[in-house]
Amino acid sequence: MNKIKSIDDLRKMKKDLEFGMNIREKSNSPESLVQIRVAMATCGIASGAREVMNTMIEKIEKDKIPAVVTQGGCMGYCYAEPTVEVRVPGKDPVVFGYVNSKVAIDILEKYILKGELIEGIIPTNYQSIN
Amino acid sequence: MKDIAMHILDILQNSVTAGAENISVTIDEDIKGNKLTVIVEDDGKGMDSEQVERVTDPFFTSRTTRKVGLGIPLFKQSAIQSGGTFFIDSFPGRGTAITAQFVYDNIDRLPLGDIANVFVLTLSSNPSIEFRLKYIYNGSVYMFDTVEVKEVLEGVPLSEPGVIKALTDMINENIKDLKC
């Protein structure tokens, strides 16, 4: 891919960016985008929220997952940082704790794409057998 | 915090919470003068002189979810441990400017880290705020402004993963150019 250096390069790239956006949004309507919020207060940042957010953005772009990632604040779960709040349209929001890059991928692949529950929901209300 | 970029990511959240409409970050790598300066300025709600004094106290915070506020104390500690200085300039209703100066070659100075990454992550999450980045390396300057980026992108949101990647690459390419 060509290197982007100036605003002009960005302008030339706009079509590709729009294309990527449409693929993700057309499969579902825009309001059905999954909202992901990575808690980004001091506690979250210090325990690795930046890596989690980067991993999720990369994965969403690569697999064209209909989701947006934004930053959130501290929810008081400092002990369980990094935390990620996931709002799947039509479902109650869920907060995952102790998220790292691996768990972040699981959240996208299992919880968001397949609707499977995974461990790590806080406050704990789901545990797999054994 | 592992690097200065993480501190900036943290401090930027304060500006966002303060209701800023414009946030600017200045990074000045002055290797000849052996100084590294980071300035984060916003036009948010600001603080009065009493709050400015208390804000470097870890047991002061404006939030309600917990009783400690470590963002500013940790940033200050990082600057001071490198032999540098730390200032807060704030006025109620006008905004806040935080200046951390590091001694460049001090062994206790944290590495800079990926400034472009944390800057773009924050601007993509806050599309209604205008962000500016001024990167100075030994006097050469690179400027980035979300106003012109939004003009070019028109309808494509800043939270679009492709945009996040493109903007991060763009800033990193320009910083790399400053350094050679």
Distance CA B79, CA B74 (A): 9
Question: Which of A45, A53, A58 to probe by mutation at the B interface, max B CB count within 10 Å?
Answer: A45
A114's tokens? 């397949």
Cβ neighbours of A7 in B, within 8 Å: 148-149, 152
The predicted pLDDT at position A13 comes to 87
Architecture of domain A28-114: 3-Layer(aba) Sandwich (3.40)
**Cβ contacts (< 8 Å) between B125 and chain A: which residues?**
40, 70-71
Please check whether residue A46 touches B, CB under 8 A. yes
CB contact under 8 A, B117 and A50: yes
pLDDT at B66: 67
C-alpha B2/C-alpha B5 separation (Å) is 8
Tell me the domain boundaries of chain A: 28-114
Which residues does chain A have with pLDDT short of 50? none
Q: What backbone phi and psi angles, to 5 degrees, belong to A85?
A: -100, 130
Average pLDDT over residues B63-74: 78
Domain ranges of chain B: 4-179
In the three-class reduction of DSSP (H, G, I as helix; E, B as strand; rest coil), residue A87 is classed as strand
Two tokens at B122?
Answer: 């924050």
Rounded Cα–Cα distance for residues A24 and A66 (Å) = 5
Residue B64, pLDDT > 70, answer no
| Percent share of chain B, pLDDT over 70 | 97
Calculate mean pLDDT across residues B12-38.
Answer: 95
Do B115 and B131 meet the contact criterion of CB atoms below 8 Å apart?
Answer: no
B144-169 pLDDT, tens digit each:
999 999 999 987 889 999 999 999 99
Q: Does residue B65 surpass a pLDDT of 70?
A: no
Please give the pLDDT value at position A17: 85
Residues in chain A with CB shorter than 8 Å from the CB of B163 are 17
Interface contacts A/B by beta carbons within 8 Å: 104
> Per-residue pLDDT tens for A41-53?
999 999 999 999 9
Half-sphere exposure of B126 (CA within 13 A, CB side): 28
The Cα B99–Cα B7 span in angstroms is 12
Instruction: State the pLDDT at residue A2.
Output: 66
Cα–Cα–Cα angle for A74, B169, B11, nearest 5°?
A: 25
How is domain B4-179 classified at the architecture level of CATH?
2-Layer Sandwich (3.30)
Confidence class for position B60, pLDDT limits 50, 70, 90: confident
pLDDT of residue A56: 96
Query: Which residue in A10, A40, A61 is closest to B13 by CB distance?
Result: A40
The predicted model gives B128-147 an average pLDDT of 96
CA–CA separation, B82 vs B74, rounded Å? Answer: 13
Task: From B19, B17, B21, B10, select the one nearest B131 (Cα to Cα).
Answer: B21
